[in-house]
Structure 1
Amino acid sequence: MKKTLIFMALAMAISCKENKKEVNAEVEEEVAKEVEETTSEWTTLFDGSSFNGWHMYNGGEVTEPWKLEDGAMVLYPPEERPEGANYNLVTDTEFTDFVLTMEWKISEGGNSGFFWGVKEDEKYGEPYLTGPEIQVLDDERHPDAQNGEDRLAGALYDIVPPSEKVVKPAGEWNTVELMINHKTNQGHVILNGTKIVEFPVQGSEWDELVANSKFADWEGFAAFKTGKIGLQDHGNVVAYKNIKIKEL
């Protein structure tokens, strides 16, 4: 009888252990699935190896002065350029509600920026005529930093200034997140892990912000809810990498 009880106890223990393994395996599988689903929501816009998915604004494929270097796209503007030439880049795809992440590095004394809601049309010669801009700047050296806090790095350019200064010095990589969500009427900028800008993206509050900026009388500015992501040629060396987007 004793042997039978011992045998039954061992069998139960082994069974419990096996069940626990199965439960753990199921949990691990479920977690892995959730991680995979979350990861799959992100689309890589630039993987560091090609310019696939990008083209020159109102132009063709990406060529010089843009180059691929160490997993980044780098703009080396020519000292002399043809009259009217610009080397702004835009995505092939348009977006409406999204979270965009990237890393950027500006040269000493440099100025650049990135846009959303860009309309590509011959009547608009530059992306900034339609797309609001997040400022990319060497705050220490570029004179635009002296023209108001809404011109500093990370600002919604000429509209909303950063709440604090967390930008890294020229020549160092900065990580930025831009969220645009028309469903909740929210936008924000997170620079190097700190949320520095929040703003509505439509409605009377947004209209008031634009009305108090240099863009007040610009017919096409912020007029397109759906548009392209753009990278600015402002005549200075700038680099971008690890560009990803998640549509909301």
Structure 2
Amino acid sequence: MKKILLLSFVACIAIAPAVKAQDNTLTKKEIKQGWKLLFDGTDLKGWHSWHKDAAAANWTVKDGQIQYDREHDRDGDDLLTDGVYENYELQLQWRITKGGNSGIIFDVQEDPKYSATYQTGAEMQVLDNIDADDNKKQNHLAGCLYDMIGDATVSKPVPVGEWNQVKLIQNKGQLTFWLNGIKTVDVKIGSPEWDAAIASSKFKDKYFVDFMKIQKGHIAVQKHPGSSGWKNIKIREIKD
């Protein structure tokens, strides 16, 4: 009888659903591994709008997520981390409204001589692949290195309104993107593949003369058509 009860107990543990981690928190293991939260679910501390000291009105916190409010589109620009980062792993979740478009822009140089985050920083695309206007080019789809690398074979966002999972690693010039567990980009900055991608993109133009010249900078989430939501934003700097 004791053996039967023990087996039943073990079976119950095996089939019990895993406890979902609370949003915008770190486990003890993650803290030990060096992860840091970039958003705690309550406010925009640690973030500011482009060329501003604080977050503008188009960015709010609601229901434990950063939200881009398109109703206040003219009241602000892209949202940036206060900190600058060089070699790191970034993880976050995003969702978008129908027809929506946004992006994760990194290595942003916030100098007065630049007029936009994407003038210096590359972008991991955030998009409703089905209904967004910017869905005509393969390397403009969700999870792609915008206007450079990626296509529909690797771009597999979840349905609009659901949460997508991002992992982005930049380490000594190597860029690797994952969207929902699928690797979408793996390229070395300055490699022949990189140079060819630049040459066939808009980033070859003079306006982008300093594009990705420095592999260190702010991380931004983009103001763009459609509302977006962001949560569970965390970063682990790579020291070795």
The interval holding the TM-score normalised by the smaller chain is 0.7 to 0.9
* 2:71 aligned residue (70, 78, 82): 78
Whose helix fraction is larger, Structure 1's or Structure 2's?
1
Instruction: State the identity %.
Output: 37
Distance across 2 between alignment mates of 1:70 and 1:45? 16
User: Is the 1:104–1:173 Cα contact (8 Å) retained in structure 2?
Assistant: yes
Aligned to 1:87: 77
Instruction: Work out whether 1:150 is the aligned partner of 2:143.
Output: no
Aligned to 1:180: 170
* 1:161 aligned residue (140, 150, 160): 150
Aligned to 2:100: 110
Distance across 2 between alignment mates of 1:241 and 1:105? 9
User: Is the 2:109–2:217 Cα contact (8 Å) retained in structure 1?
Assistant: yes
- Structure 1 residues 174 and 224, CA gap change in structure 2 (3 angstroms): same
TM-score by length of 2: 0.81
State which structure, 1 or 2, has the greater radius of gyration over its C-alpha atoms.
1
Deviation, 1:203, is: 4.2
* Deviations, residues 58-90 of structure 1 (Å, cap 9, x unaligned): 112113221111110001123673xxx642111
Aligned partner letter, 2:234: K
Distance across 2 between alignment mates of 1:142 and 1:99? 28
* Deviations, residues 201-229 of structure 1 (Å, cap 9, x unaligned): 23444233212211012212112221110
Aligned to 2:177: 189
* 1:128 aligned residue (109, 112, 118): 118
* 1:211 aligned residue (196, 199, 202): 199
**Secondary structure at the counterpart of residue 210 of structure 1:** helix
User: Is the 1:180–1:201 Cα contact (8 Å) retained in structure 2?
Assistant: no
**Secondary structure at the counterpart of residue 161 of structure 1:** coil
* 1:54 aligned residue (28, 47, 55): 47
Aligned to 1:13: none
**Secondary structure at the counterpart of residue 134 of structure 2:** helix
- Structure 2 residue runs without a partner (length 5+): 1-27
**Secondary structure at the counterpart of residue 92 of structure 2:** strand
Deviation, 1:238, is: 0.6
- Structure 1 residue runs without a partner (length 5+): 1-34
Distance across 2 between alignment mates of 1:201 and 1:54? 27
Distance across 1 between alignment mates of 2:146 and 2:30? 34
Distance across 2 between alignment mates of 1:128 and 1:244? 22
TM-score by length of 1: 0.78
- Structure 1 residues 80 and 43, CA gap change in structure 2 (3 angstroms): closer
User: Is the 2:57–2:76 Cα contact (8 Å) retained in structure 1?
Assistant: no
Distance across 1 between alignment mates of 2:224 and 2:161? 17
User: Is the 1:181–1:201 Cα contact (8 Å) retained in structure 2?
Assistant: no
Alpha-carbon RMSD across the aligned residues, in angstroms, is: 1.8
* Deviations, residues 83-135 of structure 1 (Å, cap 9, x unaligned): xx642111111111111000000110000001110000122111011110000
User: Is the 1:158–1:214 Cα contact (8 Å) retained in structure 2?
Assistant: yes
* Deviations, residues 129-164 of structure 1 (Å, cap 9, x unaligned): 111000000001012111x11000000000001442
User: Is the 2:59–2:79 Cα contact (8 Å) retained in structure 1?
Assistant: no
**Secondary structure at the counterpart of residue 128 of structure 1:** helix
Aligned partner letter, 2:56: T
Distance across 1 between alignment mates of 2:162 and 2:88? 26
